[in-house]
Amino acid sequence: MRRLTAGLATFGLLWVLAGCADPAREAARPIGVQPATATTAAARPGAARPGAAVKQRDTHLSGRQLSLAVYYPRTFRGRRYLAPEWHPVPYTRAVAAAAVGELLAGEPYCPGSRRPFPAGVSLRGIDIDAGTATVELSRSALPAAGPARRWPLQALVHTLTQFPTVQRVLVKVGGRTVAGPLTRDRAIPLAPIALSEPAAGTLVKGGRLVVEGEASVLEGTVSLRLRDDRGQVMAQGYATAAEGAPGRGQFSGALTFTPPAASHAWTVEAFEVSAEDGQILYLVKIPVWVGR
């Protein structure tokens, strides 16, 4: 991966100001990621890995990494959603354990998103049998019984059911069963727009940027925009999802622009506009590196 030392501070500031790839579909796997089989695995007690830093990197992950979806509660303009982010993790066949480990120990990329479990909670082990993933977490993973458990449990369920071998999740804390088997709760709203490409920190070479994802928006129309590091709009357009709301469909669109001579931190925006008053109903921002 190619990295720049200059400009990282500026990129970090822009990332704080940017709202990130959010939402997802109610499908069995993450957008843009080939189906992976969840392998039974046990995690080392107390093992923790810091969240992946958002730095300049090549467009594609190397063969030593995977891109897995982790689901976070996210608030946008007072509304609460469950929103995925695609995080790079070291290559492993134990993808279920890797995804849960990242959910517990990683940091959200997106402002407005938060970790569903308290800091210090660790994965004790995962066992997958006949479509049920039994997950054991360390003590203090969940609050006392009540509605406060709903969002963290569904974040865990959505993260695990991205894999086709997992249909339901049984949760244990400190060796005791506390919930499940659970499936995806359709009453939990998923954020309206999910971006699978570009990934945060991607290096865009040349003057063309492809934006891909899935959306559940009116008439399937997803507005696209690219801003430079001063906030000026450098390119704009739209893409049409294969299915409009209340359905959910994939979309792909391209933005063309004149790239700067040196790498700069720019921002990709994907959003839904109200047909009634032109107000933005939902917005996703992804920071990328752009340059010749």
Q: Measuring CA to CA, which residue among 43, 67, 73, 47 is closest to residue 153? A: 73
Cβ atoms of 138 and 174 within 8 Å: the answer is yes
> How much is the pLDDT for 144?
67
**pLDDT tens profile 5-21:** 334 344 443 443 444 43
What is the model's pTM?
Answer: 0.75
User: Cβ–Cβ contacts within 10 Å for residue 216, how many?
Assistant: 24
**pLDDT tens profile 231-241:** 999 999 999 99
* Last residue in a domain, options 159, 182, 205: 182
Q: What is the CATH number of the domain that holds 238?
A: 2.60.40.650
Domain with 218, as residue range(s), is: 193-291
Q: Measuring CA to CA, which residue among 63, 62, 69 is closest to residue 38? A: 69
3-state SS assignment for residue 198: coil
Window from 56-65, 121-130, 213-222, 281-290 with minimum mean pLDDT: 56-65
**DSSP label at residue 138:** -
193 DSSP β-pair partners: 215
Is pLDDT above 80 for 215? yes
- Asked, for residue 143, whether it belongs to a domain, the answer is yes
**pLDDT tens profile 120-164:** 899 999 999 999 999 999 988 887 667 789 999 999 999 999 999
User: Cβ–Cβ contacts within 10 Å for residue 75, how many?
Assistant: 13
Is pLDDT above 80 for 62? no
Q: What is the CATH number of the domain that holds 116?
A: 3.30.300
- Number of domains, the chain: 2
Mean pLDDT of the chain: 80
> How much is the pLDDT for 269?
94
User: Cβ–Cβ contacts within 10 Å for residue 281, how many?
Assistant: 16
Cβ atoms of 246 and 262 within 8 Å: the answer is no
